[in-house]
Amino acid sequence: MSAVPATQAPAPKPKSYLENGHTVASWLLTGDHKRIAILYLISVSIFFLVGGIAAGMIRTELLLPKGVFLENDSYNKVFTLHGIVMIFFFLIPAIPAVLGNFLIPLMVGARDLAFPRLNLLSWYVYMAAGTLGVIVILLGGVDTGWTFYTPYSSLYSNSQVGLTIAAAFLAGFSSIFTGINFIATIHKMRAPGLTWFRLPLFVWAHYATSVIIILGTPVIAITLLLVGVERVFRIGIFSPELGGDPILFQHLFWFYSHPAVYIMILPAMGVISELISAFSRRPVFGYHFVAFSSLAIAGLGFLVWGHHMFVSGQSMYQGVVFSLISFLVAVPSAIKVFNWTATIYKGTVKLDTPMIYALGFIGLFLIGGLTGLYLSSMATDIHLHDTYFVVAHFHYVMVGGTIMGYLGGIHFWWPKMFGRMYPDNWGKLSAVIVFIGFNLTFMPQFVVGYLGMPRRYHYYYLQPEFQPYHIMSTLGSSVLGVGYFMPVLYLLWSLKYGKKVGDNPWGASGLEWETSSPPPTTNFLEMPIVTKEVYTYDAEKAEEEFEHRQELIEEVTG
């Protein structure tokens, strides 16, 4: 087979991005999107741990109707810490800044993002925000909840509101920088032949996410700034005592924070589209619909914020409109779920670790999304508002959706990032444990919330009958914790001992699989030219295999 003359040495394998410099400075001053993604991977993992510890404290406290070890004040601080860290420092950056950063240039066939320095700056700003966050914890924490509702946050709270606002403000700008970078890159740096409709759905989802980031994040930034101004100078803006308008705060807050939930879920949906198609070996069913549903979510997502304020004193007629538009926004989400299901149908499904996460995502997101509809019907929401039902709803979408998607994506692209494979059996086991632990944690919260357990309370001794649900939930959260910790161990293990794999271990389609694993610093040795449609899995072949398997099954079962 080897026809190469002995004198002509084979071309040396290009240095991978991991080998291009080993000093600390070569990491901390890098412009390489892949290295910045790794920096982000490490940092968001640390914050995930911090948020997770706070979650463990919350669940422990709720084991007993009278509480276990936290005072009112410290409980408030713990759940605030949990919310702020998880939302601003983990869920929002996790998929875009780690997977998006790593993959978008690869997927569009570019050497890097459009603005490498801005990308690095975004990480530094994120770290500055994180450092402020740690300082806040050391100085005693903050107790307003992640929602910073006025007038409590601006006039009454005696905790570190100012610094926390500064941290959230900075974290916001770090994601704005990422968003600007993605938009410019996706618009202008696609390889020749890579038309918009040949882009992987992962890229579409990140494009929609970036649009939301750019339109929404500045609003929360300025709103939090105004809370700070009101707190420091006592000028009435949001506090009725001073002539301000607290409902205005809620409008501005949710104008960002509802779209923010799509900043968290859309990238995960992008990941799931890739996984489903790769492990069913079929192109995503209704590609255009899935692509446009991302944009529809980005657009409609800006028109529904009032569903968080049904009982806040906004006009009832406003509530009706917000309720109807909230029903509408569930349509594009449903389109995605249906199309993924249709993709799997008659596909040659391979249940590798990433696929198990993806299937988990579909199930859990379905429940999370549907309960969102209960909450956006005004009549039911009056009963359910501020109960554990809401807590369960958003954990189903954020933990069951975003974190499942994130972990699925990490497992899928891990061999691309580091060139080594983790032990698949451990991966499958962890995925199943996460799924079980998750449901055990949050399913009881739907019930106890429906029965009337309010959120953000640290005791329930007037209703001791709630205890079994809380015990189940706490038990589930420890299972979930184990499920999350396992990947940390075997993924780290695999960095050194994992089996080396080729460029495309999954046999997946997409430009990122056409370069070496791990990729060289410039991603591709020569400019890729795209002549194929997206997701070129052979549908007919998949169908044949499917029928063949059906025959086998029939033979076996008689």
Partner 1 sequence: MAAIAAEQAHSHDHHGPLHHQFEDLDQQNEAYLVGMWAFLVQEVMFFGALFLTYTLMRWQYPMDWYFAHNELDWKLAGFNTFNLLLSSFFAAMGVRSAQLKDRKGVLLWLGGVLLCCLVFLGIKYVEYALKWEHHLVPGPSFFYQGEANPGVAQMFFGLYFAMTGLHGIHVAVGLIVFGILWLMWYFRKTIVTEDYMPTEMCGLYWHFVDLVWIFLYPLFYLIPHP
Contact set with partner 1 (CB under 8 A): 20-21, 25-26, 29-32, 105, 110-118, 120, 176, 179-181, 183-185, 187-189, 210, 214-219, 221-223, 226, 229, 233-237, 242-245, 248, 252, 520-522, 527
Of 164, 175, 277, 333, the residue at the interface with ligand HEM (CB under 6 A) is: 333
Q: With H, G, I as helix, E, B as strand and everything else as coil, classify residue 554.
A: helix
Shortest spacing between CB 218 and partner 1, in angstroms: 4
Size of the site for Cu ion (CB under 5 A): 1
Q: Which does 451 bind (CB under 5 to 8 A by kind): partner 1, Cu ion, ligand HEM, none?
A: none
The amino acid sitting at 116 is P
Write the DSSP assignment of 174-243 as a string of letters. Answer: HHHHHHHHHHHHHHH-PPTT--GGGS-HHHHHHHHHHHHHHHHHHHHHHHHHHHHHHHHH---SS-GGGT
Other Cβ atoms closer than 10 A to 222: 14
Nearer to ligand HEM (CB atom), residue 159 or residue 323: 323
Which one of 230-238, 366-374, 417-425, 505-513 is the stretch in contact with ligand HEM (CB under 6 A)? 366-374
CA atoms within 13 A on the CB side of 225: 10
Instruction: Kindly report the number of other CB atoms within 10 A of residue 26's CB atom.
Output: 12
Please identify, among the stretches 176-184, 327-335, 418-426, 477-485, the one whose residues bind ligand HEM according to the rule CB under 6 A: 327-335
Residues 105, 523 contacting (CB under 8 angstroms): yes
Of 5 and 12, CB closest to partner 1: 12
Give the interface segment with ligand HEM, choosing from 21-29, 312-320, 322-330, 457-465 (CB under 6 A). Answer: 322-330
What is the distance between the alpha carbons of residues 373 and 503, in angstroms, rounded to a whole number?
A: 43
Tell me how far apart the alpha carbons of residues 113 and 276 are, in angstroms, rounded to a whole number. Answer: 26
* Among the residue ranges 42-50, 92-100, 323-331, 531-539, the one whose residues contact ligand HEM (CB under 6 A): 323-331
Instruction: Give the tokens for residue 373.
Output: 């509809």
Interatomic CA distance for residues 20 and 419, integer angstroms: 15
Site stretch for ligand HEM (CB under 6 A), options 107-115, 196-204, 239-247, 258-266? 258-266
Cα separation, 89 vs 84, in Å, equals 7
Please choose, from the candidates 98, 249, 229, the residue with its C-alpha nearest in 3D space to the C-alpha of residue 175: 98
Q: Which does 394 bind (CB under 5 to 8 A by kind): partner 1, ligand HEM, Cu ion, none?
A: ligand HEM
* Closest CB to Cu ion among residues 82, 258: 258
Q: Which residue is nearest to ligand HEM (CB)?
A: 372
Is 20 an interacting residue with respect to ligand HEM (CB under 6 A)?
no
Query: Closer to ligand HEM at the Cβ: 36 or 261?
Result: 261
Residues 218-277 that bind Cu ion (CB under 5 A): 258
377 φ, ψ to 5°?
A: -90, 120
Do 218 and 305 touch, CB atoms closer than 8 A? Answer: no
Could you tell me which stretch among 130-138, 167-175, 215-223, 329-337 binds ligand HEM (CB under 6 A)? 329-337
421, β-bridge pairs: 499
3-class DSSP state of 104: helix
> From partner 1, ligand HEM, Cu ion, none, which one binds at residue 181 (CB under 5 to 8 Å depending on kind)?
partner 1
Tell me the C-alpha to C-alpha distance, in Å, between residue 488 and each of 98, 407, 441, 507.
16, 11, 21, 25
Q: Does 395 bind Cu ion (CB under 5 A)?
A: no
CB closer to partner 1 out of 31 and 56: 31
* Cα 191 to Cα 526: distance, rounded to the nearest angstrom: 11
- Least separation in angstroms between residue 220's CB and partner 1 is 8
The DSSP H or E segment spanning 420 is: strand 420-421
Residue 421 parent element (H or E): strand 420-421
Q: Which does 265 bind (CB under 5 to 8 A by kind): Cu ion, partner 1, ligand HEM, none?
A: ligand HEM
User: Which lies closer to ligand HEM via its Cβ, residue 180 or residue 390?
Assistant: 390
Considering only residues 124 to 163 of the shown chain, the ones binding ligand HEM according to CB under 6 A are 147
Task: List the structure tokens of 437.
Answer: 């632990």
Instruction: Dig out the tokens for 131 from the structure.
Output: 């450092």
Choose the stretch contacting ligand HEM; rule: CB under 6 A; options: 119-127, 242-250, 395-403, 421-429: 395-403
Told to check if 209 binds ligand HEM by CB under 6 A, we report no
Least distance between ligand HEM and beta carbon 456 (Å):
9
Beta bridge mates, 387: 454
Kindly tell me the number of DSSP H helices and DSSP E strands found in the chain.
18, 2
**Using CB under 5 A as the criterion, which residues of the chain lie in contact with Cu ion when the complex forms?**
258
**Using CB under 6 A as the criterion, which residues of the chain lie in contact with ligand HEM when the complex forms?**
147, 261, 264-265, 307-308, 326, 329-330, 333, 369, 372-373, 375-376, 381, 384-385, 390, 393-394, 397-398, 401-402
